[in-house]
Structure 1
């Protein structure tokens, strides 16, 4: 087969355009943001806000595509297999690291199949108990749990969620035995805890503040490394005596592996600018979120550490996610 010079040059030009996703003309069509959870929750709300705000500077609409299921793995698999042309992003959360770090049946590699863009936000968790639980501090709760093995119960919004893993890590680090009671979402978790059907839970801090302020629940601590602006009077679990304990729910953006770095950089810059806008900060605060806007490199390193951490916690606590 003979290929003349002009044909070869055209082929090379075409390959170069594919390799760079024609970055100089990108975006030339609508973009997509896959949110691997159902509409209406915190992740969906923040994702839709981001999609709306990205449309203007990029000059193209960003269409939200909710693909719930399997702890976010269905949507993640979809993006992992998408063309790396800069037109598809994944809105992911700590659930990605938990599930991907503990499951062995994934059709994609949680690190190699994606290109990190940025960590969007961090969401502090709060440890709350029903008022009937005779513990007013983390130390008292640990003492109580050790004195009553298998009697205290902790609720979560589902198996493998951040509240579940926060409690699992707590029981593992304190060498206590508590019973996990998973519910389908945050609403029944809150309802059952307020009703006294379960002893305690971990959850997004701002979601429990009204019940804490009304006296229907008692807050003991926050799970972050430092005290949070949502409830600065509450100590961290680490400063309450459990050194090394720290967990925050978080959200971030990934693209398919191979997406041109020029496009990753553009997304990172635009998202960082958006997250610094005062009205966006106010909206995020109303969702219980604190803006982060990390570099792509820092987010990649953080994601790697989170995958390793939750794999270790899952093994130590005997948790399996199928």
Structure 2
């Protein structure tokens, strides 16, 4: 029995072609949407709702969660990638996205090119159980949008980080067996890059393909 790590990530949906088109002044001017590319009631949905409920007050606009599951998270992620780079559409992702980046070469988006990282929300330890006959001794960390104005990204990060530091959110996450994170956009970008590279090697070595 070995321990793996699963992460929940928070990224703002943007289009690379619209780099620099959005400014922080007056942001947000309309309701903010967090797309969750997984089913309702799952971990990502729960974490997104915790953030959304507490993000509305400091932003001065309603923050709604929209579940868009399907195709291993690709459907909802593609919707987010094609949204306007105004910071009003956000995306909650997981390590599934860093795996899919290499596993599925036909994805209509690129994780590192089309999204601007905001912050890592939490880290959740998992337990992997295998048959005693399986020749497996350990599991390494196998988890190896841009264009939104930096000031918007920074504000979203700062407000989310404040939320993650509140006692009630920390208690809620801990009850679910996860640890609040709140990394900076730069730290999160580096994390994503490393995870995509790490998983890319695993996918290529294993020969795994999407049928």
Pick the TM interval, shorter chain: 0.7 to 0.9
Alignment gaps of 5+ in structure 2: 1-18
Change (3 A) 1:48 1:97: same
2:82 & 2:44 partners in 1: Cα distance? 22
Q: List structure 1 segments (4+ residues) > 3 angstroms apart after TM superposition.
A: none
Residue matched to 2:5: none
Residue matched to 2:157: 268
Structure 2 contact 21–85 (Cα < 8 Å) conserved: no
Instruction: State the superposition RMSD in angstroms.
Output: 1.9
Report how far residue 44 of structure 1 moved: 0.5
How many residues are paired up? Answer: 192
User: C-alpha offsets along residues 250-288 of structure 1, whole Å, 9 cap, x if unaligned?
Assistant: xxxxxx420000000000001111001111011111222
2:108 & 2:33 partners in 1: Cα distance? 21
Residue matched to 1:145: 134
Counterpart secondary structure, 1:285: helix
* TM-score, normalised relative to structure 1: 0.56
2:171 corresponds, among 250, 270, 282, to 282
Structure 2 contact 142–198 (Cα < 8 Å) conserved: no
1:100 & 1:246 partners in 2: Cα distance? 16
Bigger relative contact order, structure 1 or 2 (CA pairs below 8 A, ≥6 apart): 2
Alignment gaps of 5+ in structure 1: 1-17, 134-140, 147-170, 175-236, 249-255
Structure 1 contact 125–247 (Cα < 8 Å) conserved: no
Is 1:300 matched up with 2:172?
Answer: no
Aligned positions of 1:226-245 closer than 5 A? 237=138, 245=140
2:193 & 2:99 partners in 1: Cα distance? 11
1:33 & 1:89 partners in 2: Cα distance? 5
Structure 1 contact 121–290 (Cα < 8 Å) conserved: yes
Max Rg structure: 1
Residue matched to 2:141: 246
